[in-house]
Structure 1
Amino acid sequence: MALPSLLLVVAALAGGVRPPLARNLTLAVVLPEHNLSYAWAWPRVGPAVALAVEALGRALPVDLRFVSSELDGACSEYLAPLRAVDLKLYHDPDLLLGPGCVYPAASVARFASHWRLPLLTAGAVASGFAAKNEHYRTLVRTGPSAPKLGEFVVTLHGHFNWTARAALLYLDARTDDRPHYFTIEGVFEALQDSNLSVQHQVYAREPGGPEQATHFIRSNGRIVYICGPLEMLHEILLQAQRENLTNGDYVFFYLDVFGESLHAGPTRSTGRPWQDNRTWEQAQALREAFQTVLVITYREPPNPEYQEFQNRLLIRAREDFGVELAPSLMNLIAGCFYDGILLYAEVLNETIQEGGTREDGLRIVEKMQGRRYHGVTGLVVMDKNNDRETDFVLWAMGDLDSGDFQPAAHYSGAEKQIWWTGRPIPWVKGVPPLDNPPCAFDLDDPSCDKTPLSTLAIVALGTGITFIMFGVSSFLIFRKLMLEKELASMLWRIRWEELQFGNSERYHKGAGSRLTLSLRGSSYGSLMTAHGKYQIFANTGHFKGNVVAIKHVNKKRIELTRQVLFELKHDILENDSINLDWMFRYSLINDLVKGMAFLHNSIIASHGSLKSSNCVVDSRFVLKITDYGLASFRYC
């Protein structure tokens, strides 16, 4: 590339003899040489430096030394400090320009602080440089920085009364200079310092990444800040649209400081960041979702001096560096370098007039603190940390019919104030969303209903309970009616005339019933018998051909009260009022086993119809087996 022969001398640092000291101001530059994706790349900044040197003219002749901090197309944390050391060793500069990338700037700034050499840059946006301790005490940032972005965001939160929480999503590949991480870092620290609950997450560019992002958003905040490529924003918004997160309960701030999403591209028009090479359905979904998006960018200086400077910058870049630059916010960085050089020259002139020298680096840097200066980028205001106050623009979809984004507000860093343009922000619900709605995040609050039911669910639940109660009541009423019917039926009652007394009474004259006790092979002992062959049990008779036992009750009158009727229906095992412990149950089971063993060893051999109704309990609570025998009679 061709450089201005009278203004620029490229340092060849591979060796050689140190040149003799000159009276001219020596300005050394450490910036990337070729990669135009950096706003501080030398082809972008070089024309501005040349214009600044020309502006100084003969009053302050300048010798310019440039070295590249670029390695394999990217900023090199390893190469930049080595080149800075060579510049110091061979050229002893009065002022260092750059680097713009964070990690190289940190390394070079430490050396500059040790050398007490002013280091001026319009990059190095990281929040860590805000504290000008012993490591960065000579660093001067004349361009935008992340802490200033954080100040703007805090002002926004104060305006909308968002005082509780926020969620941050950003892309961080941990390669190159991590621009998205260092940009959103200022927002994170500023909101945390304002006592907000701030959660952050790295966006995963992999299958499932959008789902993870929306899950994080739903769990952590309604005010969401996103920093990354435009494609990343599209992926998140499409998923948010599918999950109904674009219904107005959330707002998405897209940190696009250079406004690249608002520029025309191969698939989108100017001011329409929602346009993309997608299907018609996805394009419409994105357009609808972008109504919940607010874009934050740097503010382009509105003064005519900047427009003239930008025109000259583009011409010099084409003529001297052979590159075609387009009007964009990236040119703001070149303007900040330009203003920084002239600001340094002004302070240096004051220092010399006060009896100082160029070597008084710390004194020069201190005099730049709090300085106000009108440059090509407008009013340059340096704070007490030698960081420039930065202006921002808040963009919103100002025209819902066309979907065009327009400025909704301007932020003045010098005045710490937001100026609204008069175009209302098109909130989906007509008002800004709440950052901490009741019971959305604080689920431990006892006043929150953790399982809220809809009106339909409440009606359905009430109807179901009513039906259940009706069913249970009906069953209980039916059961009671059946019980009363059974008690009133008295099917158990027989008349005395229906009993027949036959031969058994004549043969034995009331001696009792007789059962054959011939138990062949029985292992059980013999029983006491009457007449040597029969055992006496009770008085018997016949009822409808069945032998029945008859018990005489010594009562003149029997009243069948309700209690007596219930006692006649007593069932030991099925009666809930009688609590049977397991020892008693085992006793009954043991009786059952003995009875069955008795039958199996007898001529009867088997029961044939054993069931619970054939097991009865006598007055001594001994289980007896009934309804056995007569197999041929039963099954013929």
Structure 2
Amino acid sequence: MRDEFYHLINIGSAGYGSLGEFLHLVANNFGWNRFALMYEKSELNEIAGDNACFLLMSSLIDEFGGTELDYQVGDLQLLNITYESFLKEKIGVNYGIILTCANHSNIRNIAIEAAKLGMMDRGEYLFLNFALYNNARYADRPWFDDNDIENNEMAKKGFSGFLTFYPYREAEFKKVENQSIRGSFYLDDLYNSMLMYLQAIGNKFPTYSNQTLRGCDIVQSMLGKSYLDSKDDEIILNCNAQKVVEYALVAQDPDGISKIIGIYSGKNKTVIYWEPGNFTFPPDVPRCGFDLSKCPTYDKVNILLISLIVVIILGLIIVVVVICRHRKFTAEIYSEAWKVNYDDIVFLTKDRRSSIHSLLPSKELDEMSLVGDKQLFAEIGYYKCIRVAIKKLPDIKIDLKQKQLYELKIMKDLSNDNLVKFYGACIDNPHNCLLIEYCPRGSLQDILENPQYNLDWSFRMSLIMDIAKGMHYLHGTYIKSHGALKSSNCLVDSRFVLKISDFGLHFLRGNEKSESIDEDSYEYWKYFLWTAPELLRMSDPPAEGTNKGDVYSFAIIMQEIVMREGVFYTKDRRLEPKEIVEIVRKGPDGNNGVPLRPTISADNVSEELDEVTALIEKCWSEDPHERPDFTALKAKLRHLSRKETDMNLLDNLLTRMEQYANNLETLVQDRTKDYLEEKRKCEEVLYQLLPKCVAQQLIMGEAVTAEAFDSVTIYFSDIVGFTELSAKSAPMEVVDLLNDLYGLFDYLLENFDVYKVETIGDAYMVVSGLPERNGFRHAFEIARMALNLLDAIKQFKIRHRPEQPLLLRIGLHSGAVVAGVVGHKMPRYCLFGDTVNTASRMEQNGKPLKIHLSGATKDILDKVGRFNIITRGEVEMKGKGKVKTYWLQGEMEGNTYLGDDLVVPKQTGAQRPCTPRPTRHSFSERNRPKLLDGRRTTLSDQINFISENPKSNGEDGGGGDQRVPEAEIRSDETEVPLLSITSPSFDISP
């Protein structure tokens, strides 16, 4: 039926098939399947015998025959409806893509009405116009009409939403304004039709020479053939007897000029050109819906009101945040976290100093011997178990204002590897003092003036770089500058890292120099040798100095490091500090036109470090503006450091320190790498036997005072049936069992804030809440630890009886205890009080693989609220009578807060123990601990190490467990065995 339609009806040069194919491609590309058809009679009626636009629309709809299509037919003459009504009633509420076909003037009127209705404002409507013939009069500006100038702008706006399909050759013809000169395109089509007809007859005549030619045969012979028209252009008829035509798609640019954006080849059935540029193709359904119901409407007044409210709220929030931050900041200032109670400082008395040599580790003895007695017996003490240097301040009453409190807070918060840590200040007159980090190596001045130190250039550059790093950080803080930078204020810690001290807090240090030193003394004038000349010339220089003044001081220190001849060394002149200061103050006028500076001899500087000399000279320039800042100095020194050797600085320096420390020659000769390793292990064992704070007090020879703790939680456990199991096992098997089990327990304990008290046979005792108090968190830590241990014991395998499970019985109780060290030989950290007995009773009256809780522990855990606890009932306990107890079943999820002391993080899933990392230690005759000759100790130790796999020949590895020779630490008094140590050899799946 479709073929008959095209065979019987054909109008002129228009190729409906090619046009429909082009539209179909465009529609598929943009997902269009809803159209409104808007057409009326045109000037083509005389040729087609009927409405050409109707035939065109029918052809286009027929092209979409295989596609589900929603369309609205709009024959405007048949419907007898105006453009405005049709656009508003039929299109505006249903369709976004409108297909139009009419003469040009009507199309222009449609564009004007669409623009008036606002259909072009949001770009949601698109008109696809089909012009079967192009009129040169409207080719460039289809919206322009000389007879309707007042509507040209509205028409231009309307055509911005139009796309027009033109026959391509017609669109590209030479535009001739006078259509009569061009001639009628109808005559062109008639001529081409007759030419094609005659060619078809000529092709058929030889075959039908004796017969009458039928019209249908002639037409059939024309299908699919190509012909040449009057202009020698190729004409192709398709199977529907329609001319295959190339079509152009034309859009209007922002200037209102028509522009081709696409070309379709009917011969190849493809789009051969597509450049839409900025033209947008809307969907067939507007984004906001046809009635704008999908887009919310906004009231400008409401928008302004809401915006004003939002601005006010934001302003209030900002004000509140600023106020809160200010209050928090003020609270931090007045909290006085830096303040030190004088009674909390433990000073080293003469008696304690006399015994310190026998108690401190040999590493610290080495450091003290190197810096001399003057450094060792300076004001040194302990504050909260931290060794500190105590710097005395003038005995004056100190009244602190907010600015000074703020500076103290800043000093407390400062943290840098190259700045001495400030721990706090005591301002209880007459005990005014500052507590700073203790650096056992002494000052840089001590090291430089000590000939025993043989410092190579790598180490010297490291010292210079440390100063630059520290000053660079200091200049970027609130402190801003040092003001008293000198080599005696540069301290060296045990790791040979240089740290700068005596910065900031000048309101406390103000009278320090004037009160402690006579103004006519050598020391008084030596103090100014590092001071910049511009500061010396001031009658009242600022105590905090200046940044450029610090750079000058840095240059003097660099010269000290390079020359090692003392501060402000002048080779050819012997000048007293007072003379030097006076000459430097006068500047060039006081030294024959040249500023006086220290000597840098060429003999002391290698060729590779000539740049260091130039850098020093630049830093002590007379003009402060010519001196570089520490940012530039840091970058320059880093560049110079890369030229130095890559040797490990610490190893190199340790070797040189040991070689030139005369009072340690014998010890250095006997010391080996193995000895240092074994000594470290011995100290670790001591810290495992006793709390670190307590152990350090014992090392210093101090008596440890027993301490009462108001609330702790104690854990007791034992193995049910251990006696029977031991009777059926060999002694070594029992040792392996306990070693594996307690090695696992010890590993899991590292995840909790608990302290292991002791193990006796199969009994295991742990406490939380001491020696460091943790509020009420101790019950939470012990409960979670017990659950982890119970989970781990269920997976534990006995080496010699893997099929037999271990049944752990656990008891917990909370209460007050007293803790202290008992005994002088093999001292033990013990707990005393009824709480210990009650915890033991809870374990004894428990059941296998259960956690037995007392009411006291249960009450604390109820505050946490995250544990599953059930009531066991009343239990008869020895010495206690009937006691109501509970079972701890497990841990639940959730965030729980316990006062201000405990914040429990949320967890998901059941808590499972970590998989321990098995470790092995082997000791043989070759690497066994050596005797610590010359070390006096108040503790007599003997430490036996068990190797899991030692070989009989002394090499590591090999067969089963054997006891190897003992490592002993003997004293003049006695020798006492301390502990047998083995390594865990267990493996538990997570």
TM-score (norm 1): 0.40
Higher relative contact order (CA closer than 8 Å, sequence separation 6+)? 1
TM-score (norm 2): 0.27
